[in-house]
């Protein structure tokens, strides 16, 4: 786990792209997240980095010789650091390439963003202990956490084909559900549609089948992070999840933000990590001195909601909650080490979901299931509307930002998704 800083993290660095020097931008020169974009009228996707309000096309700028994102992702960590330094140098205020690169810039508002890469496999973890506890209390008040939770990073294999990029629209899913007192199940549009505030972890360098990745090298296999909304039909989930876990309640749609924030950019925001005293300490294959010293990451997260009525009235989205990824019960390195300990071969472009990132306060629930106590206490919005679960026309927006004294703040952009009415049954 290399957390050493270099000149690309210097808070004094500025860019010849003026919008990157705005103190409020998510994308200063210290960030340089990767994404795939295309201009109007183009059919081919290009690799770019976000810089302020602009996108720099990397192949057009002569900084890479490919528009294959997976090719960049599978490179070793040292090669990726070298590329980051080249891009940073090209975009700095004193760059001799300023005039030559201006034609490689395009406004973010003028491009279509695609999935950052082809996602091969997707596994969703359950690292938010506050979310797990809050949800467990609703179903098992006396024993909210199952016995294995504090010993292993719980996860399940999800559906990659239905993951879309922000801004995404999707139809309210149909499914089968059964209330406790109903004599038989019903079928129709979900009545308890929810969001889940998560981070997505993109795998970069792959590992060979049968070769587990040790903690000491686990983060070398991580390319970067995105925001991830794991939409969930709670009523369908409650009926189907035993004994094998989520299926149709989650496979209808998931949304990610378009820019992958690299681990290099996140280095200034690392924090110590440890399980609370009295909790089981990680088994040796899930432990390392580096993970204890700086395995956590200080990422502030938030969820906002804009209803159809708010959109029509021109009312901005209303923030519902804030939490922080440093409260996660398991680290990125632990997710990779655990996923591969049986010999599973992760591949470039595979995506790992972090699980819902709630905070210790009840107002920091990362889902409506938590904030409304299962719909029993609907949220009252500023415009007079209320929500127990999501309604058609609702847009949910996830945001994330890293701030630390002495360093330039960076962000992730938005992860937005809008609910459309269900198709006919």
* pLDDT tens by residue, 406-417: 999 999 999 999
Residues annotated as catalytic are 131
Residue 250 predicted with pLDDT over 70: yes
pLDDT at 141: 83
Percent of the chain clearing pLDDT 90 (strictly above) = 93
Residue 398 parent element (H or E): strand 395-402
Pairwise CA distance, residues 126 & 241, whole Å: 15
- Ranges for all domains in the chain classified under CATH 3.90.850.10: 122-420
Pairwise CA distance, residues 199 & 244, whole Å: 24
DSSP state for residue 40 in the 8-state scheme: T
C-alpha triplet 300, 302, 306: angle, nearest 5°: 160
Name the H helices within 202-359: 215-218, 234-240, 263-266, 289-294, 308-313, 332-340
pLDDT averaged over the chain?
A: 96
CATH number of the structural domain 7-114: 2.30.30.230
Pairwise CA distance, residues 250 & 132, whole Å: 17
| 108-137 mean pLDDT | 95
Residue 244 predicted with pLDDT over 90: no
pLDDT band, very low/low/confident/very high, at 72 (cuts 50, 70, 90): very high
Task: Choose the CATH number for 122-420 among 3.30.70.270, 2.60.120.460, 3.90.850.10, 3.40.50.720.
Answer: 3.90.850.10
> Which residues are 168's β-sheet partners?
417
Pairwise CA distance, residues 211 & 223, whole Å: 19
pLDDT at 379: 97
Q: Are strands 197-203 and 54-57 parallel, antiparallel or unpaired?
A: unpaired
Residue 41 predicted with pLDDT over 90: no
| 357-373 mean pLDDT | 97
pLDDT at 242: 86
Pull the structure tokens for residue 352. Answer: 């790992």
Pairwise CA distance, residues 368 & 192, whole Å: 9
Percent of the chain clearing pLDDT 70 (strictly above) = 100
| 77-81 mean pLDDT | 93
Q: Which residue is it, tokens 């924030």? A: 261
Residue 425 predicted with pLDDT over 80: no
What is the b/e burial string over 234-267, where b = at least 16 CB atoms within 10 angstroms of the residue's CB? bbbbbbbeeeebbebbbbbbbbbbbbbbbbbbbb
Name the H helices within 195-317: 215-218, 234-240, 263-266, 289-294, 308-313
- Ranges for all domains in the chain classified under CATH 2.30.30.230: 7-114
């Amino acid at each position: 786990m290399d957390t050493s800083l270099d000149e690309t993290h210097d808070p004094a660095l500025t860019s010849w792209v003026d919008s990157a020097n705005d103190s409020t931008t998510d994308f200063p020169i210290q960030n340089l997240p990767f994404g795939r974009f295309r201009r109007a009228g183009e059919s081919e996707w290009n690799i770019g980095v976000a810089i302020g309000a602009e996108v720099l096309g990397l192949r057009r700028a002569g900084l890479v010789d490919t528009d294959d994102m997976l090719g960049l992702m599978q490179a070793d960590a040292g090669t990726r650091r070298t590329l980051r330094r080249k891009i940073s140098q090209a975009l700095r205020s004193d760059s001799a390439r300023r005039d030559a690169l201006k034609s490689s810039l395009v406004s973010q508002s003028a491009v279509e963003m695609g999935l950052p890469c082809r996602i091969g496999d997707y596994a969703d973890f359950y690292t938010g202990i506050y979310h797990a506890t809050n949800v467990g209390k609703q179903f098992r008040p006396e024993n909210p956490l199952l016995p294995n939770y504090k010993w292993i990073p719980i996860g399940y294999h999800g559906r990659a084909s239905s993951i879309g990029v922000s801004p995404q629209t999707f139809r309210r899913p149909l499914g089968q559900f059964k209330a406790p007192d109903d004599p038989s199940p019903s079928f129709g549009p979900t009545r308890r549609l929810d969001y889940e505030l998560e981070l997505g972890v993109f795998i970069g360098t792959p590992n060979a089948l049968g070769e587990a990745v040790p903690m000491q090298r686990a983060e070398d296999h991580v390319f970067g992070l995105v925001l991830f909304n794991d939409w969930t039909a709670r009523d369908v989930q409650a009926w189907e999840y035993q004994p094998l876990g989520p299926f149709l309640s989650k496979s209808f749609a998931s949304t990610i933000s378009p820019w992958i924030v690299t681990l290099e950019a996140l280095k200034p925001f690392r924090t110590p990590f440890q399980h609370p005293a009295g909790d089981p300490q990680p088994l040796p294959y899930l432990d390392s001195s580096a993970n204890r010293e700086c395995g956590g990451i200080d990422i502030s997260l938030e969820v906002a909601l804009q209803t159809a009525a708010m959109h029509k009235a021109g009312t901005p989205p209303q923030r519902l909650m804030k939490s922080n990824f440093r409260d996660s019960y398991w680290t990125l390195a632990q997710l990779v080490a655990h996923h591969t300990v049986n010999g599973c071969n992760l591949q470039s472009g595979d995506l790992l979901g972090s699980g819902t990132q709630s905070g210790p306060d009840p107002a920091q629930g990362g889902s409506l299931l938590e904030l409304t106590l299962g719909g029993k206490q609907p949220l009252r919005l500023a415009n007079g509307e209320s929500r127990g679960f999501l309604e058609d026309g609702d847009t949910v927006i996830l945001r994330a930002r890293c701030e630390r004294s002495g360093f330039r703040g960076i962000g992730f952009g938005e992860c937005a998704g809008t609910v459309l009415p269900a198709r006919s049954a």
